[in-house]
Structure 1
């Protein structure tokens, strides 16, 4: 120890300088400090504890200090990198205290860890649906998977296009677990025939009745039918068997259903039925063959001949038979008149005869004799009357349906006339 490093002064001002050395200073074990220090140096320089890590055995304190520093630094770096890998911001320069605070800040969601497992002293709460018993409500879903877990979805959404969406209960699942939603109406009887929904085929008796058009009176009473989504109750009466015997009168058939019946046979004498006529399915054999032609039938009349299908219109007239049509009558002639006019005939005259009641005056006209008229009266003998114009009318005048001829002097009064075609 250096002298005069420690100063002591008494009450008179006298100064003392106490001093010592390692050889006189004693340790707790009774050894001098000098001896103890020499022993410590000897021990540090020869550390050879077999329980030490291989990286420390046989090394000096200085070397051990370097190894320990390196190991501590590497460990801190590994912790920092692990935190970064887990999404926690950390630096290799952070102190162990800082790193420890960041580790303590890490939290863990127990619902994401299976029950029976613990992470960072946090017990998992996620249900293991694989090992849990199936819902008791899955009865009727079939026995092929009776021992495998089944769980009913709490909610279902059917707004998707041709899809059903299930809300899955929380927990862990694997391919052995089934999620379902039960509906008592999801059965074959509620699915149209020919359609399969999620593997369930429609019942053959369930059909689309949208195109059905039957009404109640077209369905037998006591029976029903589906029509356009509605059940129609039949009102058609059941008339059973209906039998009829043909008569000369019409017979009504009641509306409704009939199981059948008999219409009695009719005996048809075909030899008395005109050929080409069918009565009750029997064809007539009676043949009518006429020989008349149009000229053999009175004009304006008709008849059927030969094939009984062609109608013949008659052309026969009195003239065609060589005869003459005839018309006659009387007319009152004024005393001053010298002519007679008759109309309304159904033919054109070729000969006309006129005479008064006494027969003293006569007129004859014949188209075959130059269309002239010959007249005899009480004054003049028979004479020929050529065409004469009287009051702007030319006579003798004869046309279809009428004639206009002169009469003799003193022929007034009632005059008789006859006309021939």
Structure 2
């Protein structure tokens, strides 16, 4: 015989003992063989137990094994039965109500109201708006109420320039909804006119790249010319400001010096297009006569 066959046979016998032990109320039905042996060994052998009781009396059958030959018989008492009236208070566990010793049975049984400790709901703070719609609860007064909280489920919203915010509706949210934006990047080149860079419909600008200033708009911050450095009527930009020149335009300037009575020529301030200053024949003739 294989070991596995023996193990199966022993397990089958153990399960039979477990079933009987549960039936006899001496086991929970999960014990090992040695524990089951101890359980069965603990059964008292009461043998043959016999007793006589009078009307109105009870006899408690002792716990243990009875061989089946014992008897319990009654003694006639003339039909006088003493019954007991009892009252019990509900508890969280089952109760078995029996008459006290000396009573034949119960004449009536009064079950008191559920104690306040078992029905105290005064600590409840939930109101209809705190409980999901159609769900039922008991309020602090013990009254049955139905919730009114809206079940919004998964709420999804996309924000853009025309809708920069979203009002979250009151109620329950499943936690799987999202509020999001569609990002967009744009590029702009400076111009002489003001530009407003706006996102495309349904999008939100995240970055705007401003290109370098074009060559025709080059900075004049390092220019140092002044109005009197420019010809009258001419204009220029200096340090970002437009200036108009004041320098006179003297045109072509010529002069003849005779070396005797005219020995110099005053050059006026301003621009000249060129010219000549020369000695006249007088000085040559004077020199030749010496």
Tell me if both proteins adopt one fold, taking TM over 0.5 as the criterion.
no
Length-normalised TM-score, structure 2 = 0.29
Select the structure with the greater relative contact order (CA < 8 A; seq sep ≥ 6).
Answer: 2
